Amino acid sequence: MIALSANLNKIALIRNAREGNFPDVITHGRVCLDAGAQGLTVHPRPDQRHIRPGDVRNLAALCRERQDTEFNVEGNPFAKPSGGYPGLMALVLETLPDQCTLVPDSSDQLTSDHGFNLKLDSARLLPLIAELKSAGIRVSLFMDPDLEQISLARDVGADRIELYTGPYAQAASGQHRALNDIFAAHCAAAEHALQLGLGVNAGHDLNLVNLPRYRTLPGLQEVSIGHALVVDAIGMGLENAVKAYLDCLAGN
């Protein structure tokens, strides 16, 4: 069974558009879990454009009180603390999520748009990954489907990789020839990761149109989906949107 981890970034983005706490991120996280999502994902960024440190703390408590629910916190471990943002490592070691997905985003990026270059970052990542794992946190690295880089992910001690599916999603909305090539590259990357003993997650711009094919990726364990999930929820409601993604992942 492929786990659905609902990303709540965009709920927080709407909340931050006004003073106050409406919509309440925790309430909508609970709706996702009650609808059957196996976990929640957030990506607290230094500029706190959406998820804030308090959201991470509150969602960690929500997920802890529920059986078989995973909390996944994403972010760049090298981003400097600023304002009320304590830094990813401090926030994750304080809240102890089930999984931490390290992402090489710079602070000024609109969104995540590439995986790690471990030829450059391995030395800096090694001690951080060791520290997270010693705290009992599963570590996933946000990666492009590059076999050499995925081998380095194993070498630096990652438990899983998260395949960046942005280019796949772009191809799925355009010319199909590129889509076949890109999906084949993702399948080869997943097979390579599995042979190395790495788990395989995936995410970014997955939606109800491109997920039916992507769910056939060899050994896929978890997808984290937020942007399209929240857009779909505008039309069908959040509970129904979560159930639609779960049905899609189940092959219905």
Ligand X SMILES: CC(=O)[C@@H](O)[C@H](O)COP(=O)(O)O
Ligand Y SMILES: NCC(=O)COP(=O)(O)O
Q: Which of residues 152-171 bind ligand Y (CB under 6 A)?
A: 162
Q: Which of residues 146-185 bind ligand X (CB under 6 A)?
A: none
Burial class (CB in 10 A: 0-12, 13-18, 19+), 217: buried
Torsion of CA 180, 182, 42, 78, to 10 degrees: 180
Q: Is 69 annotated as a binding residue?
A: no
User: Closest distance between ligand Y and the C-beta of residue 240, in Å?
Assistant: 17
Our answer to whether residue 43 is catalytic in this structure is yes
Q: Which amino acid makes up residue 217?
A: L
Q: Which of residues 40-69 bind ligand Y (CB under 6 A)?
A: 41
- CB count within 10 Å of CB 177 equals 9
Q: Is 235 annotated as a binding residue?
A: no
Our answer to whether residue 204 is catalytic in this structure is yes
| 28 Cβ contact partners less than 8 Å away, ≥ 6 residues apart | 8, 11, 238
Our answer to whether residue 176 is catalytic in this structure is no
Torsion of CA 128, 134, 137, 142, to 10 degrees: 30
Q: Pick the closer one to ligand X by CB: 43 or 154.
A: 43
| 225 near ligand Y, rule: CB under 6 A | yes
Q: Is 227 annotated as a binding residue?
A: yes
| 103 near ligand X, rule: CB under 6 A | yes
Which of these is catalytic: 28, 70, 74, 192? 74
Contact by Cβ (8 Å): 147, 193: no
Contact by Cβ (8 Å): 138, 168: no
**Contact residues for ligand X, defined by CB under 6 A:** 7, 9, 43, 74, 103, 111-112, 142, 203-204, 224, 226
**Contact residues for ligand Y, defined by CB under 6 A:** 7, 41, 74, 162, 203-206, 224-228
**Catalytic positions, written as ranges:** 43, 74, 204
